Amino acid sequence: MYRSTIKLLLLISLCSLLMGGNAMAERQAGAFTLSPMAGYHVIDGGMDLDDAAVFSLGAGYNITSRWAVEADLRYAPTETTSSNSKDVDIWTISLGGLYHFMPKSNLTPYFSLGAGIMIYDPDRGAQDEDYFGYYGGGVKYTLSKSVALRLDARHLLNYRSDDSFSTNDNEPDWRHHLQAMAGLSYQFGAPSASTHEPAPATMTKEEVDPLADNDHDGVLDLQDKCLDTAPDVRVDSIGCPADTDADGVADFRDTCVDTPVGAEVDQRGCPVVDEELNFLTRDILFGFDKDQVTPSHYSELKKAAEFADKNQMFQVVVEGHADDQGTARYNLLLSQRRAENVRQVLIDKYGVAAHRITTIGFGLTWQIAGNESAEERMKNRRAEISIHP
């Protein structure tokens, strides 16, 4: 019965390890731990005692996030194997150290080493005591900030001081015991983060590195009014995207950078034209992390090519865009590839002259929808084809 119970407990523990979700994982320095566990004690074969279930309670203290000390009390109710069997309670009291290998991970292996005393307490007869040393290891799997699943195994060695419960007086003098345990480890009482790891305060201008230029636009952060300018975007004297013709559209998105002062412009910085002078804009949508043009795009590309053919005086501008999934640098390169691939299809498949097509990638800097849902992000993963004066 004991063996079946322990096997079931170990199986449940293993399933928890495999199926558990993400949790806040960290062995906290200065915290106390309490570990109730149950398992199985394999007794040295040279002793007249049956293997038995074992129950334990450990109390520990985390000196650092890696090193901890722990004292525990373990109890194994067994009996002698001889014909005149009698009940024997085995008590082990130990003190040892633990070293945690990955203290900030959800899954934290550890090594343990220590020593203690093993007490054999029969229901009839004199009590016997032996000292032992042990080494072992285990793993802790975080279930929440304060609770972890714990699996533990130990090899106990003691030099027998007498022949109590021995089956052969000529056996080697060393006794070997194995213990496998599973249970929970509760962590509590850690100092608050503010006592040993203060949160960084907001820096004032006086504390900023006077030579820092974090967005690499050539304007030092102390004077930079736009601290997150995209790479390769030309900026003005205060570090913001330049607007040469002062039409309200920055040069990096301005298709017409020399618009006359005071002229009404559209969102691309070009003069608003009469309805009779048609212009065309087409969106080509891409899948997540995709940049290849597929047959599903051909109908829109064909319309764009036909319009360009009828309006030879118009330039073709292909802009690439991305959603907010991933780094700004990666999305900038991805958006440029999208624009270049659309340009190449217009040239190779539809015969648009290469010198008429300009491409630019904007990364995630020009969003036309939110990024809260898959549908919104899809609208941002696009290449826009614009054909106008």
The confidence score (pLDDT) of residue 22 equals: 45
The confidence score (pLDDT) of residue 170 equals: 56
- Number of H helices and E strands in the chain, helices first, is 5, 12
The confidence score (pLDDT) of residue 205 equals: 47
Residue 174 phi, psi dihedral angles, 5° rounding: -90, 135
**CA neighbor of 35 nearest in space, from 132, 114, 146, 111:** 146
Helix (H, G, I), strand (E, B) or coil at 17: helix
The confidence score (pLDDT) of residue 252 equals: 82
The confidence score (pLDDT) of residue 244 equals: 83
Q: In angstroms, rounded to a whole number, what is the distance separating the alpha carbons of residues 182 and 7?
A: 10
The confidence score (pLDDT) of residue 1 equals: 44
Q: In angstroms, rounded to a whole number, what is the distance separating the alpha carbons of residues 215 and 198?
A: 27
**CA neighbor of 363 nearest in space, from 386, 316, 340, 329:** 329
In this prediction, the residues of the chain whose per-residue pLDDT falls under 50 are 1-2, 4-6, 8, 12-13, 15-23, 193-203, 205-206, 274-277
Q: Are 51 and 43 in contact (CB under 8 A)?
A: yes
Report residue 378 as tokens.
């899809």
The confidence score (pLDDT) of residue 18 equals: 46
Q: In angstroms, rounded to a whole number, what is the distance separating the alpha carbons of residues 377 and 323?
A: 5
CATH code reported for the domain at 2-191: 2.40.160.20
Which contiguous run of DSSP H or E holds residue 187?
strand 174-188
Write out the CATH class of domain 273-388.
alpha beta
Q: What is this structure's pTM? A: 0.46
The confidence score (pLDDT) of residue 194 equals: 42
The confidence score (pLDDT) of residue 278 equals: 52
Whole-angstrom CA distances from 122 to 93, 151, 343 are 17, 29, 89
For residue 239, what are the contacts with CB-CB under 8 A and spacing of at least 6?
A: 215, 217, 219, 223, 224, 225, 226, 227, 229
Report residue 290 as tokens.
């995709």
Domain ranges of the chain: 2-191, 273-388
Q: In angstroms, rounded to a whole number, what is the distance separating the alpha carbons of residues 174 and 170?
A: 12
- Block residue for tokens 């997540």: 288
